[in-house]
Amino acid sequence: MLYTCNMQKIENSALPAAWLTEIQRTFMNYDIPEDEWEQFRNRLKGLKIERGEFLVQEGSPPEQIAFILSGIFRAFYLTEKGEERTIVFRDKGKVLSAYSSYIKDQPAVFSIQALEPGLLVYISIEEFENLLRNHPFWEMLKSRYIMDLFIDKEKRERSLLSDDAETRYKIFLNDYPGFIKRISHYYIASYLGISNVTLSRIRRDIKLQNS
């Protein structure tokens, strides 16, 4: 996989209205008032990204908060031994950001990579900070969002502590429907905390159980 950089930026004025409607749907749960949405929308830009490219690089400060229109992305880091560990996958309708590093105002502790060609809409951290300063609503949204992230993490901690590899794989299938066909098993194994060989074994065992 090549790590070239052919990302294509799309200015706010050139964003298709349909994309913005799509993004608005991402935030339905957060009940954004119309006037706040107005402010937000005017700060958005678009990004076309190719398979293998990085939206965020481990060690660099996070630059944007993005929303996925299409494609699959993963957040991952390298262990001391140089092995990859995948923290999370994200696809259409999800937020994509090195959020915790932004919160801590520190360089990203993981990279974010496109696993398929993708379309993103994003707001730069700088613009988001402007929004925060003048619109308390966004401070509220920021903290509600981190609660959601925290709940996800708590769930993952629990699974890593109590479930064996096969169970974790079945939970993955459930949490990420369709991903098993779209993503290299190598990445899935690195998310489950097992080797790709073990993942294959598990898949064979499940097949045998079902026949």
Partner DNA sequence: TAGCTCCATTAACATAGGTTAATGAAACCT
Partner DNA sequence: AGGTTTCATTAACCTATGTTAATGGAGCTA
Q: What are the residues binding DNA (CB under 7 A)?
A: 1, 164-166, 184-186, 193-204
User: Considering only residues 8, 35, 151, 184, which one is a binding residue for a second copy as defined by CB under 8 A?
Assistant: 151
Secondary structure letter of residue 30 according to DSSP? G
The binder of 202, among DNA, a second copy, none, by C-beta within 5 to 8 A per type, is: DNA
Reported as type and span, the H/E element at residue 118 is strand 118-124
Binding mask 67-86 for a second copy (x = CB under 8 A): ----------x-xx--x-x-
* 143: amino acid identity, one letter: S
Helices marked H in 116-135 — which ranges?
125-134
Which residue lies nearer to DNA by CB, 60 or 184? 184
Q: Does 30 bind a second copy (CB under 8 A)?
A: no
Secondary structure letter of residue 122 according to DSSP? E
In this structure, the number of other CB atoms found within 10 A of the CB of residue 7 comes to 14
The binder of 51, among a second copy, DNA, none, by C-beta within 5 to 8 A per type, is: none
Contact 109, 103 (CB under 8 A): no
Q: Residue 46 Cβ, how far from DNA at the closest point, in Å? A: 25
Stretch that binds a second copy, among 24-32, 35-43, 52-60, 138-146 (CB under 8 A): 138-146
* 196: amino acid identity, one letter: N
Burial class (CB in 10 A: 0-12, 13-18, 19+), 68: buried
Query: What is the rounded radius of gyration, in angstroms, for the C-alpha atoms of the chain?
Result: 18
Q: Return residues touching a second copy (CB under 8 A).
A: 77, 79-80, 83, 85, 87, 100, 103-104, 109, 139-140, 142-143, 146-147, 149-151, 153-154, 156-158, 160-162, 193
